[in-house]
Each structure stands twice: as C-alpha cells, then as structure tokens.
Amino acid sequence: MKKLALIFLLICACGQQGVPMPQDIATGTIAVEPSFVNPPSSIIMCQQANILARLSNKGTSDVTRGVYTFIVEDQVLYAPKKSDTFQLEGKSKFNPQGGIQQLQFSVKNTGLPPQLESYSTPIILQACYPYETFSTTTVCIDPDVQNTNPNKVCRPSTVSVGGQGAPVAVTRVEPIMEPIQDSVTPSFIISIANLGNGKVISSNDAQAACTTKQPLKGTVQVMADLQAEPLICQPEAITLESGKEAKVKCTAQGYSGKEQGTYQTLLSVTLNYGYVTNTILPITITKIPGQEECT
C-alpha cells in the first residue's frame, strides 16, 4: 500500500511540472513588430539580394486589413514587389505569442556613380494596420458626496493604468460624482496616450498610410461603458500628438441614488485607431575593382 501511495505522489509531481503557469496576456505596449531575419549588411554592385523579414503581432488585437511595404532608394535599388496585405492573430490564452508572418523581399542594385566605391542606403520595412485597445478598470461609485457614511466599501480616487496589450492605452481614470438632488451622475475623465514606438493614425487611413506621403492625423475613436451600459463620451474622437496625453470625459446616462449605496464596478474603455510601425536595415553597396556599370 505504501508503494502505491509513493507511486501516486511521484506521478502527481511529474504532472504538475509539465503544466505551464497561466499568464496575463493583456500587458505591454507593442502591436505589430516588423523585423529583419539574419539580414545581409552589404551587397556587391549589380548583385541581387534576398532579404527575409517577419511581422509579429505582440498585442491583443487581431489585424485583418494590414498592409506592409518595403521602402528603398529607387536610384540604387530595384525591387519588383514592394507592398502586400497581411492578417495576424493577436495574443490570446490559446496563442500567447501572437500571430507571425514570414516575408521575403528581393532587391537588386542597379549601379553606382563612377566617383563612388561604396554607398550606404536604408531598407525600411513598414507595417500599417487598424488596431484596438480594450481596457477594464475597477472604479468606485459613491452617491454619498456629503460623506455621511464613514464605513464605505470604497472612495472614488484617480486610478493609474499600465499597458493593456496595445500601444495606445488608457493611462489614468479620474472618477467624478456629479450631484443631482439626492443622486449622482458618475463621470470619468479618461487620459489616453501613445505608449508605443509607432505612429497613430485614423483607422480609416490605416491601409493608405503605407502608400501615401500626405500627413495623416492621429485620430482615436473612444467608447466606454459602465456595467455594460454605454457612456456618453465627449469628444467621441481625439487627436493624439507625440509625447502628449489627450483627455475624454465619459458620463453615465443614468443616476446612482443613496439607496444603492457605495459600490465598486468595472469601467470598460475601447479605443479604435490605426498604427504604423517600422524597422530599418542599413545596407552598404560595394563596388568590385574594375566594375563600371551593370549590364
């Protein structure tokens, strides 16, 4: 009997070692991350190079209408195909790494001026795509604005929020209980910022961002609800400037009376926007002695 018990304990211990620990998926400030895979640092004049690259979705939003493009200096590099569309699954408990797409890109040097023996030029891989941030924050609803109850379960206070698995994030939530007779209307000042290293654009401009040279606004659509009831947000869309926060006031459409007491609940915020990320590969074109032009 003792031997059977010992065997059972050993089996349980081995089984526990093989079970992965759960992890919080909705963290971080990265969306789609472009990268080059073991790239060459140089090519010989007139030579063709095959370059491998990768798009990795390290955020929680699925990308269904993304566009990527390779940007080269046309005077020295010829590329037969520069742009294409892509789709990438976001991180989830079933796919904690997120979707990955491998890319292959061919470039050929078309020559160098006679006075140059070598020339350095960048190859840029740029990804443009619509993205979404979903944030939930525990907030305190307190109809007792006169503080007549000293034993409240919570008190309204500003809440700082970290990364939510996306680059544009809710950074801070400030609750405001606006008195109306014996009730209050809960409102929230929501601060939003670009915490990633990419550029914010309108979700409607996401595909065009990789093909146009026109300046595009960093517009973010904001929606919020409290206990599954939609809030009225003003403004409904904000323009995010680099390095700055933008604020939105979202107000409940109903009242909370004293009879409901003070309680905690969830504030949910959804942000819709477009995003542009890129990576740069410096490459040097070198002329072999005696080379004059490409044939």
Q: Is the pLDDT of residue 150 over 70?
A: yes
In 3D, which of 168, 181, 107, 175 has the Cα closest to residue 132? 168
Region of 261 (left: φ > 0; alpha: ψ -120 to 50; beta: rest) is left
pLDDT of 13 strictly over 50: no
User: What H or E segment, with its residue span, contains residue 12?
Assistant: helix 2-17
Using the predicted structure, report yes or no on whether residue 7 has a pLDDT greater than 50: no
Average pLDDT, the chain: 88
CA–CA dist 274, 204 (Å, integer): 7
Query: Whole-angstrom Cα distance, residue 184 to residue 163?
Result: 31
Instruction: Tell me what pLDDT residue 89 has.
Output: 97
Check residue 98 and give its pLDDT. 94
pLDDT score at 27: 86
Listed residue (164, 171, 182) closest to 243, CA to CA:
171
What pTM value is reported for the model? 0.86
pLDDT digits (tens, 9 = 90+) for 177-229: 998 877 889 999 999 999 999 999 999 999 889 988 788 888 999 999 998 89
Tell me the two tokens of residue 256.
């909370």
Confidence at residue 9, expressed as pLDDT on a 0 to 100 scale = 40
- Look up residue 288 and give its two tokens: 């072999």
CA-CA distance, 165 to 97, in Å (whole number)?
12
In this structure, of 28-32, 48-52, 187-191, 212-216, the range with the lowest mean pLDDT score is 212-216
Q: What is the pLDDT of residues 249-261, one digit of tens each?
A: 999 988 777 778 8
Which tokens in the block code for residue 228? Answer: 């599954």
Rounded CA separation 36/283 (Å)? 12
User: pLDDT of 104-130, one tens digit each?
Assistant: 999 999 999 999 999 999 999 999 999
- Structural domains in the chain plus CATH codes: 32-129+278-286 (2.60.40.10), 131-275 (2.60.40)
> Does residue 294 have a pLDDT over 60?
yes
10: phi then psi, degrees, rounded to nearest 5 = -65, -40
